[in-house]
Structure 1
Amino acid sequence: VAIVTDVASVKATVLSELELLGTDLSRYVGSHPMAGREQAGTLSGRSDIFIGRPWVVSANEASSKSAVDQVEALALDLGASLVHLNPVEHDRAVALVSHAPQLISSLMAARLSDSEATDIALAGQGLRDTTRIAASDPRLWIQILSANSHEVAKVVSALKADLDQVLGSLNAVDKAGSLAAIGKLLEKGNLGVSRIPGKHGQRATEYAKVTVMIDDKPGELARLLTEIGEVGINLEDLTLEHATGAAVGLPELFVMPTVADKLVSELTQRGWKIVG
């Protein structure tokens, strides 16, 4: 007997359609690997895309144990980490952490479409980070947003309330409490960021950041990372920004605070330019 699963971004709608069709739901187990990319097509595929990523197994009440076991085995064989959520829980969660962020990123990027080129030329890593996923396929996202419209609308409505409050404060900055209201929302944002899982899914950790300036030429980044390894310092995270007006890169190295001074000292001695 064949076992059926799917990897769609929405689970409740799929299950509802199958129920209306009178399908044998004992053979069906919804699933969703949380490992998509903003690029589509065969050439964008990666063999390691599922490794270490959450794979939601969303069984329904009629799903047989053998069916669930086989879908779980598929996810584990591909190196994913299992997460169990029912369809309603799944759709609520992805609306918050995936679907609404996609919409917000696209809306911010849309502001750039008719902006002055000289304004956009000032863009740094913050804007790139905020708008990266806006490069996703609009046709795909129309389907996803329509299928999970109810849950996404809840998140967007809450965001709208916050934006209305910010807008009111910005339009009356001299009014008592206006700046404090904005400050509270920014502080709430700090709290929200701290709740995003950190390295290997563990609790987010405060790292020290060391920024190095390197020439934008083959082998420089590899040489830097090799020398960090040679001094016995573990790199917890890494981001790379390119300077707008010079052929240099700015790798931001994140390490445990206890080894930050050692890293700066060792890299300086080896001739690297520390800029932050």
Structure 2
Amino acid sequence: MIPNVLTVAGSDSGGGAGIQADLKTMLALGVHGMSVITAVTAQNSLGVQGAWELPVEAVRAQYRSVVDDIGVQAVKTGMLASAELVEAVAELIGGTDAPAVVDPVGVSKHGDSLLAASALASVRTKLLPVATVATPNLDEVAQLTGVHVDSEEQLREAAAAVLAYGPRWVLIKGGHLTGDAVDLLTDGSAEHWLRAPRHDNRHTHGTGCTLASAIASGLAKGLAVPEAVTAAKEYVTGAIEAGFALGGGIGPVDHGWRFRDGA
């Protein structure tokens, strides 16, 4: 049986992030991807021109339709937009017997807000406590905890601040720092430092969505959290290296890089 992975996220009309990136990642990694669309965005390589969230009842109906019939081996969340959506999705995940990867999406690659300020408390108190792995970048760490990271040494402080909200594991993504791309995965006890060379490529749209979906794919296959995250980091590093120009702004990572490399 092919493992089933469900993404609960927003649609990116440009195809580089969101639901579209999630499903491409899942296909590339050999799992069956399914989707619950929480919002529709008008989005391209230059930014987000508009966003419209779906009603909570539509999100809940999509989720129940998939989980009750098909079943899931892992769930991944992305853009949830509002407090109402965050709380509804947290309740749904809490009632699902499958690991959950929470990407607490706050802003787009272009700096556009994708989460209402009023939803932050719900992310902290409702969504993070049901996460198997939370994957915030440094901007999202600051948004959620007030901890501002300027150096690799501060990643531990950031991780502790996010773990205080209840996820089992947290992956603090240090991609916004200088030097190697360094991430810290920890459950508050074990630490796993993940390093990769920083590629000279500005076409990195969709990295966060892709990484979280890759982790969920690994968990669905039965990998332990450290192994799933390590494999996901390797996949995303290759996708960044192969990222390509699209439109007039920031292009996407290449989700199909392994197919083209023949790997």
TM range (shorter): under 0.3
Q: TM-score, normalised by structure 2?
A: 0.25
Where relative contact order (Cα < 8 A, 6+ residues apart) is larger, the structure is 2
Specify which structure has the higher proportion of strand: 2
Specify which structure has the higher proportion of helix: 1
Q: TM-score, normalised by structure 1?
A: 0.25
